[in-house]
Amino acid sequence: MYRAKCKKCSGKKFWQVRRGKLRCKNCLYEFKPRLGGISLTRYQWKALLKWFLRCQSINTIVEETKISEYKVLKALNLIRQIMAKDIPDVFEGIVEVDETYLGGQKKNKRKSQLRKDKEAYGKESKRGFGTAKQPVFGILARNGKVFAELVDDTEARDLIPIITKKVKSGTRICLDAWRAYTGLATKGYVHRTVEHQKKEYTKGRNHINGLEGFGVILKGN
């Protein structure tokens, strides 16, 4: 992880002073540290994060942000380090779990991309179960911590092992009525279900609105 260093004497001990600046304890030089040692403006950071959260390639991010490939690679490495550091090993308390899909809406895709999807999967992608899009499984604790992982499928064999590994036994889990979650009670969890097919989205404190909100941000919608 990057550590600030004085531009004049290379000192590594500072006082924090006005306007986010640091004052070197050795030579008293004042300067504003660069985040991760990367010279990017706030606007550039916002643009970079936007395309990163949309799961775009390095080449796409470089093209859209007009930032050099070197700086993009260094910035994304820093973002991933911070994200990984902030994820708890085990979730507890009240936890939400849900699955979603990445890949964009059909109306926003070019004809060439629709042809590629059909060639790759033998069909055009659709919404929900049976889609050709990339499934993602997420876990969110009500304290604001969230974990997301790409999965091969959304069946019990794919999701239950992640839950048992990442969620403490005895935890109250809020989820929808997807069949993969059947049997969680036998694993020692207290699960509360909301049935979206019946237009039911919340029952008191039982809902997955927090995780669905994260899904919207993840997709960049």
Return the C-alpha torsion angle 81, 85, 87, 88, nearest 10: 160
Confidence of residue 123 (pLDDT cuts 50, 70, 90): low
Confidence (pLDDT) at 114: 55
8-50 pLDDT tens trace = 887 888 888 877 788 888 898 887 766 666 778 778 888 888 8
Give yes or no for residue 97 having a pLDDT over 60.
yes
Confidence (pLDDT) at 206: 86
- The H-or-E segment that residue 108 falls in is none
Confidence of residue 129 (pLDDT cuts 50, 70, 90): low
* Alpha carbon distance 119, 107 (integer Å): 18
Give yes or no for residue 173 having a pLDDT over 50.
yes
Pair 101, 133: CB distance under 8 Å: yes
Confidence (pLDDT) at 95: 94
- Mean residue pLDDT across the chain: 80
What are the Cα distances from residue 131, in Å, to 90, 122, 153?
Answer: 30, 11, 10
Question: What would the mean pLDDT of 159-182 be, rounded to a whole number?
Answer: 92
Confidence (pLDDT) at 1: 44
Give percent of the chain above pLDDT 90. Answer: 19
Confidence (pLDDT) at 34: 66
Whole-prediction pTM: 0.58
Confidence of residue 137 (pLDDT cuts 50, 70, 90): very high
Beta-carbon contacts of 176 under 8 Å, excluding residues fewer than 6 positions away, are 98, 193, 194, 195, 196, 208
The class that CATH gives domain 94-219 is alpha beta
Question: What would the mean pLDDT of 86-101 be, rounded to a whole number?
Answer: 87
Closest CA to 211 of 180, 164, 178, 175: 175
Domain layout of the chain by residue ranges: 1-33, 41-85, 94-219
Question: What would the mean pLDDT of 84-94 be, rounded to a whole number?
Answer: 82
47-80 pLDDT tens trace = 888 888 777 888 888 999 999 998 898 888 888 7
pLDDT: is 126 or 201 the higher one? 201
pLDDT: is 167 or 107 the higher one? 167
Confidence (pLDDT) at 105: 55
